[in-house]
Chain A
Amino acid sequence: MKRGLVTVVGALALGCAGADPRERGTTLSLPLINDPILNPVIAPDIGSIMINKVIFPGLVRPDEQLRPTPDLALSWAASDDGLTYTFTLRPGVQWHDGQPFSAHDVKFTFDQILDVHSGSRQRSDFAAVAGVDVVDSLTVRFRLRAPFAPFLSLLGYNAGIIPAHVFKGRRLTDAIDFSRARPVGTGPFQVADTRPGSAIILERNPAYYGTPPKLERMVFKIVPDVNVQVAQLRAGELDVILIEPANLASLERDAAIVVREAPIVQHYYVGFNQRHALFASPVVRRALGYAVNRAAIIAGVLKGHGDAPVGTIPLALGDYFADSLKRLRYDRDSARVLLAQAGWRPGTDGRLRNASGSSFRFDLFVDKGNPTREQAALAVQHDLQALGMDVSLRMLEFAALVRDHLLTGKFDASLIWWTTPPDPDQWAFYATGQDNNHVAYRSARADSLLALGRATSDVVRRRAAYHAFQAHELEDPPVLVLFYPRELLAMRADVDGFPRLGLRDALRHSERFGIAQDR
């Protein structure tokens, strides 16, 4: 009996260690945290968005400088008033089911995106689009309500094109055979098999219109826990994963793994709710900006994998980032002077008080479970308390934080972040009265600069508008920007062909991914 057991275990071990060596070299595995919705128009979560970028190309895609370059569209022209864009589509493109791709598919996709009842998650991105017209089967025209500079970047971001012929009047959210099992796109890989809770297996699309894909297969495996993703990467069961700085220690000594940094269009910040008297004054917000030791957070929490900020426009946006302005610095004396100016002075106990004797107290919200944000929130709390403020940390689940506090305006301060398309437009976040302006920032100057930047397609004038916006942010900060993180991509050392882009944008170039054979 005992010997039998040993034999069985031994045979299992021999037969099943890692993947079949013949598979290696032709298959790339990436993780998702749960089953995706395979339809870019209605996909609500980041995992779905990622895999949809492989299956559903858009009209354009970003190159390594984040500029829009041809994908399903070969070329385009904007009218002089910036109100119409005409796209010439690539001829001879086939959907994964063999049907021809045409301008009608583009119109269908955008009609769905703009329909509030379709379940569309991209409607606000394209609110400037008034309508889409089919000129002929390979020419499509977009009519805009007003000049909208981010338009091309947004087309290359999440707006994958879906096939009109598949849905036949069904609502996108009802077509679960499409979004859960058999999606039809035009990308370099098509779905071969979906295993709920386990994996989505993509195989090379032999009819792909671009450079033929190097890989035979891409597998998106459902691995919900990031520590387990790290273990699976090390065991060779995953090839590319996104990690947190906290995971670096376990990967550093592994020669089979390389960690790559990529710029990512994100800014992390502490948003102070300006509906509250405490944070209404720009002087107080400037003081708060001086009070936090960002360098310590970048070194300690991000292990150096982040950049010190100027304003809300991150470094990853290249020329739009105002490099000529000084990075925000840590200066407690300036903070004290500004707070005194605003009427907040330390009492004998060191606690800040105003003329009526009340103390500077507020709750700082942060989502629970992410070590980077939790530790950053602790550091912010510590720095502000050192200045005599009374800060209570409140850790909640992300969904509860967003729905019950951020969206309802019931919070004092929250540590959170924005991930944006590769475009400097921040009208939705920081213009007066916008839905996504959760901190209720109001500034006439910011409004006019953000409106100008959004409407100007001339790059030089546009850059000037955003540089002026960042200068204004130093005087009247909408939020306390903490840092611009860099994306940490851990991959098996033999993975190649990955463009120098963050993972989201890199997935728009999946036909270039490969695995080096000579190892």
Chain B
Amino acid sequence: MARYFARRLLHALTTLFLVCTATFAIIHAAPGGPSVLADPKLTATERQAIERRLGIDRPLGEQYARWIGSVARGDLGNSFLYQVPNVQAIRERLPGTLLLAGTALLAAIVIALTLGTYCAARPGSVADHAVTVLASAAMAIPAFWLAMVLILLFAVTWGVLPAGGNITVGGTGSLGDRLAHLILPVTVLSAALTAELLRYARSSTRSALLQPFVRVAQAKGVSKTRLRRRHALRNALIPVVTLIGLQLPRLVGGAAVTETVFSWPGMGRLGVEAALSRDYPLVLAITLVISAAVAVVTLLVDIIYVWLDPRIRLART
């Protein structure tokens, strides 16, 4: 077990190093430069002073070496745009994304598993067809469009939900207020994810229900509910768990769009702002944090496999 984790850790660190190196190369190859320098009014002297202060007047190789060096010492550098340490910028915004993406993921899992197993038990029924159609629609609708429609309906036309933000500014910040601000962004962020999970859950439960051991259990008189939950669902969960693990980067990416439209103070939007303004240190820091999170989640997924299916052994993977 310890050897297994050591190996996984080594893999993860190598991946992080490669991802960061690739990001460094890509962001520097992108056209334009730090937006703090893209002011048409700056004179040449002022530009040079800024470049020197930010350290981007040095050769690219040197910038890279310095950056790797400071990351190794645990220093993620300072943001060009916000002038604060990147660690602080991320710490300010990460909770927002965790709340939004976490709630969306939870909502997606609960809805998808409930509806998926329900439909799997009644293939071809009206409910099954309706859910399939809805799921296709949810996957096809662009998040940005869905978000604008929801804002126009719920905030502008009916005025029942807030159009953006995570809390009423100047309000009391009560739980109800926070939940009200969550409803629309969570709906948008979880829509496509729910649909995709639902289809996986439905088809894998369906095939699990057709397995001989299910029929055996049925013959032994196991109740329908227990059959679905204990025998079929547990086996059906393996592909679903894989999918959830793979969704994490997408969830953060999707959060960027959702956070922008709903003015949600999260890290996804921060990442987009950083990329658009070529805030090199902040882009790298965010990439590092997200990659690390993905590495951790992948590890968790592997552990969950073992719990779901004792035939899988960690040592062999």
Could you list which residues of chain A lie within 8 angstroms of chain B, going by C-beta atoms? 8-9, 11-13, 15-20, 23, 27, 29, 34-35, 37, 44-45, 116-117, 119-121, 123-124, 173, 176, 179-180, 195-199, 201, 217, 219, 221-225, 227-228, 231-232, 234-237, 396-404, 406-407, 416, 418, 428, 435-436, 438
Q: Does B59 contact A (CB under 8 A)?
A: no
Decide if A403 touches B33 in the complex (CB within 8 Å). yes
Considering only residues 139-181 of chain B, those with a C-beta below 8 Å from chain A are 148, 151-152, 155-156, 159-171, 174, 176-177, 179-181
Please name the residue on chain B nearest to A416 by beta carbon: B40
B-chain residues with CB within 8 Å of residue A180 when the two chains form the complex: 82-84
Decide if A406 touches B40 in the complex (CB within 8 Å). yes
Q: Complex: how many Å from CA A12 to CA B178?
A: 9
Decide if B265 touches A13 in the complex (CB within 8 Å). no
A-chain residues with CB within 8 Å of residue B169 when the two chains form the complex: 29, 195, 198-199, 201, 219, 221
Cross-interface CB contact of B263 among A176, A221, A398, A428, cutoff 8 Å: A221
Please name the residue on chain B nearest to A438 by beta carbon: B40
Considering only residues 77-118 of chain B, those with a C-beta below 8 Å from chain A are 81-84, 89, 92-93, 96
B-chain residues with CB within 8 Å of residue A23 when the two chains form the complex: 170-171
A-chain residues with CB within 8 Å of residue B278 when the two chains form the complex: 399
Please name the residue on chain A nearest to B89 by beta carbon: A196
B-chain residues with CB within 8 Å of residue A44 when the two chains form the complex: 36, 39
Decide if B46 touches A124 in the complex (CB within 8 Å). yes
Decide if A398 touches B38 in the complex (CB within 8 Å). yes
Q: Complex: how many Å from CA A494 to CA B14?
A: 59
Top 5 closest pairs, chain A to chain B, by CB: A197-B265, A400-B32, A399-B38, A16-B180, A196-B92
Q: A116-B49, A196-B265, A235-B156 are in contact. Are A397 and B31 (CB under 8 A)?
A: yes
Q: Complex: how many Å from CA A379 to CA B155?
A: 36
Cross-interface CB contact of A436 among B40, B50, B166, B273, cutoff 8 Å: B40
A-chain residues with CB within 8 Å of residue B36 when the two chains form the complex: 44
Distance of B99 from chain A, by nearest CB (Å): 13
Decide if A404 touches B32 in the complex (CB within 8 Å). yes
Q: Complex: how many Å from CA A180 to CA B92?
A: 12
Cross-interface CB contact of A399 among B32, B45, B165, B167, cutoff 8 Å: B32
Please name the residue on chain B nearest to A428 by beta carbon: B41
Q: Does B294 contact A (CB under 8 A)?
A: no
Decide if B170 touches A196 in the complex (CB within 8 Å). no
Cross-interface CB contact of B43 among A16, A37, A435, cutoff 8 Å: A435
Q: Does B219 contact A (CB under 8 A)?
A: no
Q: Does B266 contact A (CB under 8 A)?
A: yes
Q: A399-B278, A403-B38 are in contact. Are A13 and B32 (CB under 8 A)?
A: no
Cross-interface CB contact of A224 among B43, B174, B260, cutoff 8 Å: B260
Q: A231-B155, A231-B156 are in contact. Are A16 and B177 (CB under 8 A)?
A: yes
Additional 17 contacts, C-beta under 8 A, given A223-B263, A399-B38, A404-B32: A19-B170, A20-B171, A34-B81, A37-B82, A116-B45, A117-B49, A123-B46, A197-B270, A222-B263, A398-B38, A399-B32, A399-B35, A399-B276, A400-B32, A402-B39, A404-B31, A436-B41
Q: Complex: how many Å from CA A406 to CA B31?
A: 13
Q: Does B287 contact A (CB under 8 A)?
A: no
Distance of B78 from chain A, by nearest CB (Å): 9
Q: A221-B263, A228-B263 are in contact. Are A399 and B277 (CB under 8 A)?
A: yes
Q: Does B228 contact A (CB under 8 A)?
A: no
Q: Complex: how many Å from CA A41 to CA B169?
A: 28
Q: A123-B46, A235-B156 are in contact. Are A16 and B41 (CB under 8 A)?
A: no
- A-B Cβ contacts below 8 A, count: 184
A-chain residues with CB within 8 Å of residue B311 when the two chains form the complex: none
Considering only residues 208-266 of chain B, those with a C-beta below 8 Å from chain A are 260-266
B-chain residues with CB within 8 Å of residue A173 when the two chains form the complex: 53, 83
Q: Does B37 contact A (CB under 8 A)?
A: yes
Cross-interface CB contact of A176 among B46, B83, B96, cutoff 8 Å: B83
| Centre residue among B38, B174, B265, B270 by max chain A CB count within 10 A | B38
| Centre residue among A13, A124, A221 by max chain B CB count within 10 A | A13
**Residues of B in contact with A, size category:** 35 or more
Q: Does B26 contact A (CB under 8 A)?
A: no
Distance of B28 from chain A, by nearest CB (Å): 13
Q: Complex: how many Å from CA A94 to CA B183?
A: 45
Q: Complex: how many Å from CA A221 to CA B170?
A: 11
Decide if A15 touches B39 in the complex (CB within 8 Å). no
Question: Interface 1/0s, chain B 268-311, versus A by CB < 8 A?
Answer: 01100100111000000000000000000000000000000000
Please name the residue on chain A nearest to B85 by beta carbon: A176
Distance of B100 from chain A, by nearest CB (Å): 12
Task: List 5 A–B pairs whose Cβ atoms lie within 8 Å, in order of A's numbering.
Answer: A27-B170, A34-B273, A400-B31, A400-B32, A402-B38
Q: A37-B82, A117-B49, A399-B38 are in contact. Are A224 and B168 (CB under 8 A)?
A: no
A-chain residues with CB within 8 Å of residue B151 when the two chains form the complex: 228, 231, 235
Q: A235-B155, A416-B40 are in contact. Are A198 and B167 (CB under 8 A)?
A: yes
Decide if B180 touches A12 in the complex (CB within 8 Å). yes
Considering only residues 46-77 of chain B, those with a C-beta below 8 Å from chain A are 46-47, 49-50, 53
B-chain residues with CB within 8 Å of residue A217 when the two chains form the complex: 170
| Centre residue among A201, A231, A428 by max chain B CB count within 10 A | A231
Q: Does B44 contact A (CB under 8 A)?
A: yes
Cross-interface CB contact of A35 among B33, B53, B82, B166, cutoff 8 Å: B82
Q: Complex: how many Å from CA A13 to CA B158?
A: 10
Cross-interface CB contact of B168 among A13, A16, A401, cutoff 8 Å: A16
A-chain residues with CB within 8 Å of residue B163 when the two chains form the complex: 228, 231-232, 235, 237
B-chain residues with CB within 8 Å of residue A116 when the two chains form the complex: 45-46, 49
Distance of A505 from chain B, by nearest CB (Å): 18
B-chain residues with CB within 8 Å of residue A37 when the two chains form the complex: 82-83
Decide if B174 touches A176 in the complex (CB within 8 Å). no
Distance of B127 from chain A, by nearest CB (Å): 16
Q: Complex: how many Å from CA A222 to CA B176?
A: 22
B-chain residues with CB within 8 Å of residue A232 when the two chains form the complex: 155, 163-164, 263
Please name the residue on chain B nearest to A14 by beta carbon: B160
Decide if A223 touches B180 in the complex (CB within 8 Å). no
Distance of A197 from chain B, by nearest CB (Å): 3
B-chain residues with CB within 8 Å of residue A20 when the two chains form the complex: 168, 170-171
B-chain residues with CB within 8 Å of residue A237 when the two chains form the complex: 155, 162-165
B-chain residues with CB within 8 Å of residue A235 when the two chains form the complex: 151, 155-156, 159, 162-163
Distance of B192 from chain A, by nearest CB (Å): 20
A-chain residues with CB within 8 Å of residue B262 when the two chains form the complex: 228
A-chain residues with CB within 8 Å of residue B45 when the two chains form the complex: 116
| Centre residue among B32, B81, B168, B264 by max chain A CB count within 10 A | B32
Decide if A227 touches B165 in the complex (CB within 8 Å). no
